[in-house]
Structure 1
Amino acid sequence: MTSPSGPRLFPESGRELRAHDRGVLPFEHLRELVREGVLAAEDGIDEAQLQPASIDLRLGSYALQVRASFLPGRGTTVLEAVEDLLIQRIDLECGAVLQKGAVYIIPLLETLDLSANPGLLAKANPKSTTGRLDVFARLISDRADQFDVIERGYVGPLFAEVSPKTFNVRAKTGTRLNQLRFVRGRSVSSHASRKAAEDEALVFDENGEPMKATIDSGIWFSVDLSGRSGDATIGWKARTETPVIDLDRIGYYDPGDFWEAVRPSRQLILTPDAFYILGSKERVRVPPTYAAEMLPYDQAMGEFRVHYAGFFDPGFGYGTGELQGTRAILEVRSHEIPYALKDGQRIGRLMYERMLAVPERLYGVNAGSSYQDQGLGLSKQFRR
């Protein structure tokens, strides 16, 4: 990240990260994996798919609508398991509408070969835009007994299970809904989160003042329902009957056609099965030496779930002094009964992971990031 004659890009980090033998692979290592054919596609992989600590995956040429979600299990491929559940095959080459409430299995353009890299495993999460549209997207591999985790040594195709929950969406070949992160060794632990908080400030208040991080199996943050003085809107609730959202149209749609504003209050009663976009009170950041992942909300603490797009890249909410953290955007859905969510209630946590090295490309600087200095940001398909 530095040159002999040039300044440090992030001087407030105070040091450069030495190379490690365990951790999340950064941008330059991901580029090398592509060159080696570890992640490959017939038409090649565009460098724009490479993020600071992950690679975007693309939908293939068709979708298989199925009757139910499933895992293939140890002895079965995904396409073999689909046979008993298939409803119809849908061509995606020219685009097609994926209906809310339906379940689709979509082969991806990318394939994976970890045979020559026995120390690597891969894990997936939906992209931020996917989560903010309440599109449930999980990665599946052949003979898998869990979603979103690719075991060491895997060789084979990749599939996305896609199920829009709130909006009908139009997707096509090449649409990016998931992202893949590669990890060497075991890097996720409470110790890494604690060490990150010891190294420097990770959490800030609404005025950019450092706050003491609440550390308990990750860095916790709370929901903001009161807003800052003068705020007229502290969140959004999705409307039930809306037009189709074309995922390729950026900055196109009027938010009012799809969302109702949520006004400031001390508590918000979540309507069963409704989808909300809310923000954290705290502003959080991820130093260049770490990546982070938002973990699922513990349902024992409330009758709702946070639909999360879990990867936070190195550099999120970070800067050279001008940016002191970025709000986490929370995609919230209640369960079968109404739930009273209170202002300041703890609702999410970030688990930090050590990077193998500081990435050459950082979130918000040179990665084409869409949500670096976000307020209460809807997905990029909506006009600001």
Structure 2
Amino acid sequence: MAPTGSAQGGVLSSRQIQAMAEAGAIRVSAPLAAGQVQPASLDLRLGPKAYRVRASFLPGKDRRVGDILSALAYDEISLDGEGAILERGCVYVVPLMEGLSLGADVSGAANPKSSTGRLDIFTRLIADGGDRFDEVAPGYIGPLFAEVSPRSFSVRVRMGSRLNQLRFRARGTDAGQGSVVLNDAALAELHKKTPLVDGELNLRDGVVLRVALGAEAFGGVIGYRAQKHTDVIDVDRIGAYRIDDYWDRLPARDGRLILDPGDFYILASRERLAIPPDLAAEMAPMDAAIGEFRVHYAGFFDPGFGAAPDGRPGARAVLEVRSREVPFILEDGQYIGRLVYERMAEKPEALYGESGVSNYQGQGLKLSKHFEAG
């Protein structure tokens, strides 16, 4: 099935994910679609029905999601054909077209896709018997479900729409290989050979990123704030929407930005970064003590992301930001997130940007792929 029993642990590559599907470790109700297998993850597809529920939930040990849905769901919605609109502020649970039959040494971790996070669609993975969102335990056999809650915009989805992605991790058998997560000392040594960011490397249990709020960063516009009353966005339409119909452009103002509680912002990092071909990365939150805000809903970075033709870091991290309870002042250059790096079990056959369409390679301050450039 999966690459069980291998000496090299780490994040599984596209080739290994494809092998899992062929062996039945990934169970599908329809064949995998083109582009669904990414360099270090699998896009998950919505099934034919969604269930509107009163509240978010976790099944807990020995309980099935389907049994809880029977008690909580009060509206069953068909996603066939043109699909359906998921309303802003509501919570839905959608059975996915993929299920799993994992080996004892393979686990899963999920995250929203980049475009999902930039649309402020709160999406989490649920598995039977799970007591944590976005985690699939080693040896799991069963279906998968997505909890979907649009926060800023109502969205149209349909069967086959892809909102979140699943990354697989294999536990290696070589006791001497150490952790697959790189510590700060290893990152500092790697940065000397292969720059992880342009400029100074800041480390704190990962590579620390700073927010860019200066006028020089992006031609005077340092971010976007989601408007509160807009039309619906179809998640499968690319380049179809005008920015100014959905977003307020934020001009640079003395290197500061006041985050209003509950508002949703798209910002970008000061640093340009690159993910080496044998590593994968994930955005993790900074210590909550640094500020009352949440950053980056969609956290996976694939091997090869940001790699410029000259070998230098070439892409900024786009940050999805929401303040919590109180207004909060962000300053240009303030620490806002950190990247945690993991070893790949093997280098992917094709890196990010080398196969298919990669909407965010070389990005600066960039909204989701649904919006026209400009």
Q: Does the pair score TM above 0.5?
A: yes
Residue 144 to residue 193, structure 1, CA distance change in 2 (3 Å):
farther
Q: How large is the RMSD of aligned CA atoms in angstroms?
A: 1.6
- SS of the aligned residue for 1:125 comes to strand
The answer for the alignment partner of 1:219 in structure 2 is: 207
Match of 1:103 among 91, 98, 107: 91
Q: Which residue of 1 is the match for residue 175 of structure 2?
A: none
Is residue 2:86 matched to residue 1:125?
Answer: no
Identity of counterpart residues, as a percentage?
48
Number of the residue aligned with 2:3:
none
Q: Is the 8 A contact 1:250 1:380 kept in 2?
A: yes
Q: Which residue of 2 aligns with 1:10?
A: none
Q: Does 1:77 align with 2:100?
A: no
Equivalent of 2:48 in 47, 61, 69: 61
Is the aligned partner of 1:339 residue 2:344?
Answer: no
1:319-364 per-residue CA deviation (whole Å, 9 max, x = no partner) reads: 3316532100000011121111111100011000001121101101
Is residue 279 from structure 1 mapped to residue 273 from structure 2 by the alignment? Answer: no
CA contact (8 A) 1:289 1:358 kept: yes
Paired residues for 1:184-263 under 5 Å: 184-185=170-171, 187-190=180-183, 193-194=187-188, 196-204=190-198, 211-228=199-216, 231-263=219-251
Match of 2:134 in 1: 148
Query: Which runs of 5 or more structure 1 residues have no equivalent in the other structure?
Result: 1-18, 205-210
For residues 356 and 347 of structure 2, what CA distance do their matches in structure 1 show? Answer: 14
Pair 60,215 (structure 1): closer, same or farther in 2 beyond 3 Å = same
Distance 2:86 2:99 in 1: 23
Give me the TM-score of the superposition, normalised by structure 2.
0.92
Question: In structure 2, what is the Cα distance between the partners aligned to 1:322 and 1:203?
Answer: 11
- Find 1:299's aligned residue among 266, 275, 288: 288
Count of aligned positions: 358
- Return the match for 1:40 from 27, 31, 38: 27
* Alpha-carbon separation, structure 1, partners of 2:107 and 2:130: 13
Partner of 1:31: 18
User: Could you tell me the TM-score, scaled by structure 1's length?
Assistant: 0.90
Give the letter aligned to residue 306 of structure 2.
G
| Structure 2: distance between partners of 1:335 and 1:278 | 16
Larger mean CA deviation between 265-274 and 81-90 belongs to 81-90
Kept in 2: contact 1:134–1:307 (CA 8 A): no
Q: Distance in 2 between matches of 1:160 and 1:361?
A: 28
CA distance 1:179–1:305, shift in 2 (3 Å) = same
Is the Cα contact below 8 Å between 1:196 and 1:352 reproduced in 2?
Answer: no
Distance 1:195 1:127, change over 3 A: farther
Q: What runs of 5+ residues in structure 2 fail to find an aligned partner?
A: 1-5, 172-178
Given residue 287 of structure 1, which amino acid in structure 2 is its aligned partner? P
